């Protein structure tokens, strides 16, 4: 397996606050990686730096053998990086089906695959079906609950047909069976060859999904390895349970 | 409806308006109609950036004036006493449009990284800078202003104002067609994502800066084209009234009153407010003009934030929703609901 994502010595500050410090992380193609850490440990900042919503000040990010630090976010999406936002950011003036159509129009077509209108329509319906929102395809995001918005967020990220999908707390607030559905969807994507990074607070979901676990605390990476080993790590225990 | 039939229908309606104005037998209607049509173009152009993309431009007056001063520049350069008015107005409009497009692109490149109020302030600042430049540029008359004496008549239209009216009518039809085309295209979807959420748009692969630049360029070009025949209309062009905030305020107020989400809104707003202004100018006073705009704007922002189109839509959709809702429950009642888990139904 070759390295798909290589984060090297990444650093990000907000004024005097060091959000990320010397983060190095490599993710191989096809991996299922869990990323955990307490609130404010820098998980979302790391995602934002990888996806281009924020610019890192130090270090570099390589994706698919190519340095992407200086690329705007949409170019990174075109290269095959997709993410869902922790707080859902739907396109509020559009119906759900239009929401998932955007990545098809702007990312999948930018890669050179043109589809007929009916094919796009069919694909959009399929994506909504996978997250259980097909019945509301013509509704606006304002008609959705927070939980449904998380599902829409995930569907829109998947619509970009990514090589690497970063799901940023896609499961918060979901019921047990819904978590199972989303996990099944992520596993299915992974089996189709999509590398997945899962950021999650729900430990049962993280443990059942991840083949490898990375822990961030206060902007530093304190553990990286097999999930069981990582959870037994005294430093991780200290960070989560206190001394 | 396809674009070409739409364009043709607009042309026919425009032709009827022109014929109706002819039968009234008074050239005053052409003078008044010209201004209304000019506002149709300006508010449609403003709406391409402001309504579709959500970036509020306060520089409409500047783009308009750029078009007008391009005409003055060409007139001063080329036309002589022996051969006046050698450059036809459509050519002047293309030049004015090109100048405004280039300035729009440049301004966009410098300011489109700003959001919300900061972008609006930057466009206002650009208008002030351009006005200062023109006031101090003697070649186009400086603060004294510039004369263009339009010919009395032009064949086959008769009086020159009819010709100007017809040109502005064509530009209005073209603007509406362009706006409608954008609205329904991939570009229109992209602009709407920017208006809704720029971060999410980038994450979905939308090249936001490029789309905003395209919108600013098209919007600026149309405003410049609307300004190019203006020296011929007004006869005596002065910097202050040409760069006036009136244009900016009207170009914002008209789409807001009509509704910013479709091409119909700016059209309705401009026809309504523009005509009302013309009526007030001749019946009450020209000073009441902006007072009316202000009052209407406040009323609409409070009572109908989505404009007349929004009001109509709400009324129709309510009836529609009711109908669809009844039909849907009737159809789906036997089938079990897919997402019936308690949390997904609970309000967030």
Which residues in chain A are closer than 8 Å to B200, comparing Cβ atoms? 85, 89-91, 156
Please tell me the total count of domains within chain A: 1
CB-based contact, A44 to chain B, within 8 Å: no
Out of B195, B200, B202, whose CB is closest to A72?
B202
Q: Enumerate residues 107 to 126 of chain A having a beta carbon within 8 A of any beta carbon in chain B.
A: 107, 110
CB-based contact A95:A165 (threshold 8 Å): no
Strands of the sheet containing A3-14, edge to edge, are A17-28, A3-14, A58-63, A66-67
| Residue numbers of the domain that contains A129 | 3-241
pLDDT at B284: 83
Give the C-alpha separation, B66 to B61, whole Å.
8
Selected residue of A73, A96, A115, A158 to mutate for chain B interface (largest B Cβ count, 10 A): A73
Tell me, yes or no, whether B124 lies in a domain.
yes
Give burial (CB, 10 Å; 0-12/13-18/19+) of B5: exposed
Assess contact for A209 and A183: CB atoms under 8 A. Answer: yes
User: Under a CB-based contact definition with an 8 Å cutoff, are residues B93 and B229 in contact?
Assistant: yes
Instruction: Look up the domain containing B36 and give its range.
Output: 3-328
Tokens of B198: 């720029």
Q: Which two tokens stand for residue B135?
A: 């006031």
Please give the tally of structural domains in chain B: 1
Out of B205, B339, B342, closest to residue A103 by CB: B205
Q: Nearest CA to B244 among B33, B32, B59, B31?
A: B59
The H or E element that residue A225 is part of is strand A220-225
Residue in A75, A103, A106 to test binding to B, most B beta-carbons within 10 Å = A106
At A49, which CATH number?
3.40.50.300
What is the Cα–Cα distance from B50 to B31, expressed in whole angstroms?
A: 28
Q: Per the structure block, which two tokens stand in for B4?
A: 């070409």
Tokens of B146: 């510039």
Shortest CA gap B348–chain A (Å):
6
B335: in domain: no
Q: Please give the torsion angle defined by the CA atoms of residues A178, A180, A182 and A184, in that order, rounded to the nearest 10 degrees.
A: -150
Residues 6+ apart with CB under 8 A from A130: A155, A158, A185
Helix then strand count (H, E) for chain A reads 9, 10
CB of A80 within 8 Å of any CB in chain B? no
| pLDDT value of position A23 | 92
Taking an 8 Å cut-off on Cβ atoms, the answer to whether A91 and B199 are in contact is: no
In a domain, B305, yes or no: yes
- The single residue listed with the structure tokens 């919007």 is B219
Residue B232 lies in a domain: yes
Distance CA B171, CA B17 (A): 14
Q: Is B17 a member of any domain?
A: yes
State the CATH number of the domain containing residue B198: 1.10.3470
Tens digit of each residue's pLDDT, chain A (243 residues)? 578 999 999 999 998 898 999 999 999 999 999 999 888 889 999 999 999 999 988 999 999 989 998 899 999 999 999 999 988 999 999 999 999 999 999 998 888 877 888 889 999 999 999 888 999 999 999 999 888 898 899 999 999 999 999 999 888 888 888 888 889 989 999 999 999 999 988 888 999 999 999 999 989 999 899 988 888 888 888 887 665
Characterise B154 by phi-psi region: left (phi > 0), alpha (psi -120 to 50), beta (else): beta
Most A CBs within 10 Å, among B186, B198, B199, B200, to test the A interface: B200
| CA-to-CA separations, B279 to B127, B168, B172, B200, B268, in angstroms, rounded | 29, 20, 21, 46, 16
Task: Inform me whether the C-beta atom of residue B204 falls under 8 Å from chain A C-beta atoms.
Answer: yes
A177 touches B: beta carbon within 8 Å: yes
Contact A91 B193 (CB under 8 A): yes
CB pair distance less than 8 Å for A102 and B199: no
Using CB atoms, pick whichever of A90, A93, A105 lies closest to residue B186: A105
Residue B337 lies in a domain: no
- What pLDDT shows up at residue A187? 93
Cβ(A226)–Cβ(A213) below 8 Å = yes
Taking alpha carbons only, the member of B128, B103, B89 closest to residue B227 is B89
Whether the CB of A150 is below 8 Å from some CB of chain B: the reply is: no
The reported pLDDT for the residue numbered A243 is: 57
Query: Is A178 touching B (CB cutoff 8 A)?
Result: yes
Give me the helices (H) in B51-115, please: 60-78, 89-111
Q: Closest-CA residue in chain B for A73?
A: B202
- ipTM of the predicted structure? 0.89
The DSSP bridge pattern shows strands B153-154 and B158-159 to be antiparallel
Residue B281 in any domain: the answer is: yes
For residue B164, give the 3-state DSSP assignment: helix
pLDDT, residue A242, reads: 67
Tokens linked to B235: 């006869």
On whether residue B339 sits in a domain, the answer given is no
Q: Which residues in chain B show pLDDT less than 50?
A: 320-348
Q: Would an 8 Å CB–CB cutoff place B195 in contact with chain A?
A: yes
Which residue, chain included where needed, has tokens 């152009």?
B45
């Amino acid at each position: 397996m070759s390295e798909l994502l290589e984060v090297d010595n990444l650093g990000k500050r907000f004024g005097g606050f060091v959000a990320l410090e010397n983060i190095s992380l490599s993710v191989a193609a096809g991996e299922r990686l869990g990323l955990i850490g307490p609130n404010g440990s820098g998980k979302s900042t790391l995602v934002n730096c990888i996806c281009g919503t924020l610019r890192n000040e130090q270090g570099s990010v390589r994706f698919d053998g190519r340095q992407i630090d200086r690329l705007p976010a949409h170019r990174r999406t075109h290269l095959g990086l997709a993410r869902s936002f922790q707080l859902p950011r739907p396109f509020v003036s559009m119906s759900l089906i239009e929401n998932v159509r955007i990545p098809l129009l702007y990312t999948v077509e930018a890669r050179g695959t043109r589809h007929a209108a009916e094919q796009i329509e069919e694909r959009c319906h399929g994506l909504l079906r996978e997250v259980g929102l097909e019945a509301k395809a013509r509704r606006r995001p304002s008609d959705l609950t927070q939980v449904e918005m998380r599902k829409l967020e995930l569907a829109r990220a998947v619509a970009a047909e990514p090589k690497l999908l970063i799901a940023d707390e896609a499961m918060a607030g979901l019921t047990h069976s819904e978590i199972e559905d989303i996990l099944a969807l992520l596993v299915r994507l992974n089996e189709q060859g999509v590398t997945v990074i899962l950021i999650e607070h729900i430990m049962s979901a993280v443990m059942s999904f991840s083949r490898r676990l990375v822990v961030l605390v206060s902007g530093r990476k304190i553990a990286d390895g097999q999930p069981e080993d990582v959870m037994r790590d005294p430093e991780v225990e200290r960070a989560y349970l206190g001394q | 409806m396809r674009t070409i039939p739409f364009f043709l229908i607009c042309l026919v309606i425009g032709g009827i308006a022109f014929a109706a104005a002819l039968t009234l037998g008074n050239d005053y209607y052409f003078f008044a109609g010209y201004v209304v049509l000019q506002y149709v173009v300006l508010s449609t152009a403003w709406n391409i950036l402001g309504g579709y993309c959500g970036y509020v431009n306060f520089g409409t007056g500047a783009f308009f004036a750029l078009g007008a001063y391009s005409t003055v520049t060409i007139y001063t350069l080329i036309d002589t006493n022996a051969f006046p008015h050698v450059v036809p107005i459509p050519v002047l409009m293309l030049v004015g449009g090109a100048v405004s497009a280039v300035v729009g692109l440049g301004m966009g490149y410098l300011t489109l990284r700003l959001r919300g109020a900061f972008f609006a302030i930057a466009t206002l600042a650009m208008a002030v800078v351009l006005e200062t430049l023109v006031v101090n540029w003697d070649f186009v008359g400086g603060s004294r202003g510039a004369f263009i004496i339009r010919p009395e008549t032009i064949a086959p239209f008769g009086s020159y104002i009819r010709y100007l009216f017809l040109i502005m009518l064509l530009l209005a039809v073209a603007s509406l067609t362009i706006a409608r085309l954008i609205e329904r295209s991939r570009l229109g979807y992209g602009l709407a994502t920017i208006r809704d959420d720029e971060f999410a748009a980038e994450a979905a692969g939308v090249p936001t800066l490029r789309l905003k630049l395209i919108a600013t360029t098209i919007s600026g070009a149309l405003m410049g084209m609307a300004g190019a025949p203006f020296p011929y209309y007004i006869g005596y062009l002065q910097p202050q009234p040409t760069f006036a905030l009136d244009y900016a305020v009207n170009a914002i107020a008209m789409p807001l009153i009509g509704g910013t989400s479709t091409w119909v809104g700016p059209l309705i707003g401009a026809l309504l407010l523009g005509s009302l202004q013309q009526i007030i100018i001749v019946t009450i006073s020209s000073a009441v003009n902006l007072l009316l705009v202000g009052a209407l704007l406040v009323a609409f922002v409070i009572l109908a934030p989505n404009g007349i189109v929004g009001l109509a839509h709400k009324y129709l959709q309510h009836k529609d929703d009711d109908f669809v809702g009844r039909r849907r429950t009737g159809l789906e009642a036997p089938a079990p609901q897919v997402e019936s888990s308690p949390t997904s139904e609970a309000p967030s």
